[in-house]
Structure 1
Amino acid sequence: MASPPPPTTPVPADFTPLTGHCDCKAITYTIKAPALVVHCCHCTWCQRESGSVFALNYQVESYNFTITSPTKPTLIRTPSPSGDGQIFGRCPSCGIALYTHYDVNKMRVFVKVGTMDDASRAKVRPDVHIYTSTKVEWMDLKSEVERGVPCFEEYYKTKDVWRKESLERVEALKAWVEKGGKVGDWVVE
């Protein structure tokens, strides 16, 4: 049975699609909708996986994320703190991780903001800082708090942080999946 068409995502008039690529530009992508949420994650897993002190992830429905290059990512399964596992989409040539998704919510993609083109990356800011209990000591989040960005020592309740539109989009996503919605093989194994 063919997958039903995905729900229409309400996109503000001033939103322009975001683009990105790996280092060697063998893989390019486009994001067609605003983020459900942008996490700045300070957990030790994200620190290790990113090779940096945090990971900045732009979460969006899988049908709003498109690989636009002929080259498709290599999918690498890794463990995750939850035990559910996660899958990294990496360039088969340069090895750069472009996105992840988790077994528990394969229909959402966590795009690595550092892989976005400069103009796209300049438009993205964290909506929330998570796992700040393990952030590096020298990182001061005072300016983020002053900007109104919530900071949590661990995780948070989605309904307490996400915008109403994002919560509605996730409900539409769940309904689509229940009707048999499927995404491309660049997301799931």
Structure 2
Amino acid sequence: MSHYADRKDLFPMQGGCPCGHIRYQINLPPLLVQTCHCTLCQRQMGSAFAINAVIESSAVSLLPSAPLTTPLSKAEQSSSSPSSGSVCGVLPAFADLTNAATTAIVTLPTDNNNAAHNAANNHKINKPILVALPTQSKVGQTVAQCPLCRGNLWSYYADAGTLVTYLIASTLDRPWELEPDVHIFTRSRREFVSLNDGKPQFKENYPDRAVFYRPDTKERVDALTELQGAWRKQIRAAYKAQFAKI
């Protein structure tokens, strides 16, 4: 199977949150795709690991909201009678009962098949909210979530600010197209997960991510590094000015 970066038919790729309120597009192949097996990623994802596509934030675009559809798996796409891909609906009675029994400050649409709802929202580009969460790597993390369904979409880390997006690959419409390039924090890998893809593995974080960048990303990485340097200078200057007032 060809590496995702060599697949000219893949990009741009689109994805979104579980309810369809936030939709996005990545316009370039990721710089790197990593699987993190740390226990905090397991908790945040509600799964055994997280697959993150590392990409410049400038290559990520927000799209108008869209009715939620069930993504077709790779096998279903090649099937003559796919079992999914239709517009998803929410049972109104169940949704109303659930919302009435909680203290949520937002309410999900009770019916994604409602024509009026779709017409009012399909042209709107909605923005995620940002939530600060801890990380096992001890680098500050801010997670972008849908304000309605609270689905996690991507993360920003304190070492790069909002210049670099760690996209949660499972939110893509075709997540299986991005195979991981490296596995990290395998010390907490769940025993039922078998890593037999031949990709590099690290018990903790990797010592130097630059080793795993492809040669074709050099110009992109160099430009990003320059921006990160300027951003760090601004942050240091801002902190210095703030402490000078104390």
**Aligned position for 2:45:** 50
- TM-score (norm. length: structure 1): 0.79
Identity across matched positions, percent: 35
Alpha carbons of 1:139 and 1:179: their partners in 2 closer, same or farther (altered >3 Å)?
closer
**Could you tell me how far 1:104 is from its partner in structure 2?**
1.1
Q: Deviations over 1:63-116 (max 9, x none)?
A: 001112321101111122233311111000101001011111121101111111
Residue 167 of structure 2 is aligned with which of 111, 119, 123? 111
- Please tell me whether residue 130 in structure 1 is matched to residue 196 in structure 2: no
Residue 24 of structure 1 is aligned with which of 14, 19, 25? 19
Alpha carbons of 1:83 and 1:178: their partners in 2 closer, same or farther (altered >3 Å)?
closer
**Aligned position for 2:221:** 170
**Aligned position for 2:144:** 89
**C-alpha RMSD of matched pairs (Å):** 2.1
Higher strand share: 1
Q: Secondary structure at the match of 2:159?
A: helix
Alpha carbons of 1:173 and 1:22: their partners in 2 closer, same or farther (altered >3 Å)?
same
Q: Which runs of 5+ in 1 are unaligned?
A: 1-10, 181-189
Q: Which runs of 5+ in 2 are unaligned?
A: 1-5, 65-124, 232-246
Letter in 2 for 1:38: V
Structure 2: how far apart are the matches of 1:168 and 1:87? 27
Letter in 2 for 1:169: R
Of structures 1 and 2, the larger Rg is shown by 2
- TM-score (norm. length: structure 2): 0.62
**Could you tell me how far 1:167 is from its partner in structure 2?**
4.3
Higher helix share: 2
**Counterpart mapping for 1:51-70 below 5 A:** 51-69=46-64, 70=125
Which segment is superposed worse, 34-43 or 164-173?
164-173
**Aligned position for 2:133:** 78
Q: Deviations over 1:138-183 (max 9, x none)?
A: 21112x12xxx11121222223322123344222112245567xxx
Structure 2: how far apart are the matches of 1:72 and 1:57? 20
